[in-house]
Amino acid sequence: MISPSKNKQQMNKNTEQEIINQLDCSVDELSVNQLNDIAQARVAALTKLHARNVNPENNIKQSAISWSEILKSYIVERVSSIKLALPVAASLALVISLTYFQAESIPELPVAMMAAEIPLEDFAMLEDLAFVTWLAENETSIAL
């Protein structure tokens, strides 16, 4: 008599075999489109292999080229960043200098200079005004 565990093992083996058979069948019965797609994938991979085999020097020189390329790309990157940074810095400097000069460009006028430049006619008019005011004050005091 077969033990239950052995029986289970046998059943599992049968299941496994059945599934494998179905998988094999499904692979054999793949559609033409699927087969073509798979073949294309393989051809793409093999093309890379052939390209490598045709130019094996490419693989050897890979490291040397990569160093020079890294250096070149670094320089190019730096130059491009300088190209961009220069105009930005120049425009910033221009804006700052303009705002600075605008603030300082209107100095306060000295009082002495203001007095010196007052025309004499104005002074004469002020004197007349003061005389007229004095006369008016006198008249009001006499009337009182």
Partner 1 sequence: MSSPLTMEDFLIDIEKRAYRMVALATSSHADALDLLQDSMIKLVTNYQNKPSNEWKPLFYKILQNRIRDWHRQQKVKNLLFFWKNDEIDELQPDDYAKNEQRLPENDLAKEQQQAAALHLLAQLSVKQQQCFLLRSWEGLSVAQTAEIMACSQGSVKTHYFRAVTKLRTQLEEDHDITF
Query: Token digits for 117?
Result: 């430049």
| φ, ψ of residue 108 in degrees (nearest 5) | -70, 135
66: contact with partner 1 by CB under 8 A: no
One-letter identity of residue 103: A
As a whole number of angstroms, the distance between CA 68 and CA 74 comes to 10
Interface with partner 1 by CB under 8 A: which range of 44-52, 69-77, 83-91, 115-123?
44-52
Contacting partner 1 within 104-133 (CB under 8 A): none
Among residues 6, 30, 65, 81, the one that binds partner 1 under rule CB under 8 A: 30
CB of 17 to partner 1, least distance (A): 9
CB of 61 to partner 1, least distance (A): 16
- What's the count of helices (H) and strands (E) in the chain, helices before strands? 6, 0
Q: CA 54, 56, 57, 62 torsion: positive or negative?
A: positive
Minimum CB distance to partner 1 smaller for 56 or for 119: 56
41: contact with partner 1 by CB under 8 A: yes
34: contact with partner 1 by CB under 8 A: yes
As a whole number of angstroms, the distance between CA 126 and CA 133 comes to 11
Long-range contacts at 120-127 (CB < 8 A, ≥ 24 apart): none
Contacting partner 1 within 8-27 (CB under 8 A): 10-12, 14-16, 18-20, 22-23, 25-27
Among residues 29, 57, 117, 122, the one that binds partner 1 under rule CB under 8 A: 29
**CA distance to 19, 22, 75, per residue, from 130 (Å):** 125, 126, 82
* Positions that interact with partner 1 (CB under 8 A): 10-12, 14-16, 18-20, 22-23, 25-27, 29-32, 34-35, 37-39, 41-42, 44-46, 48-49, 52
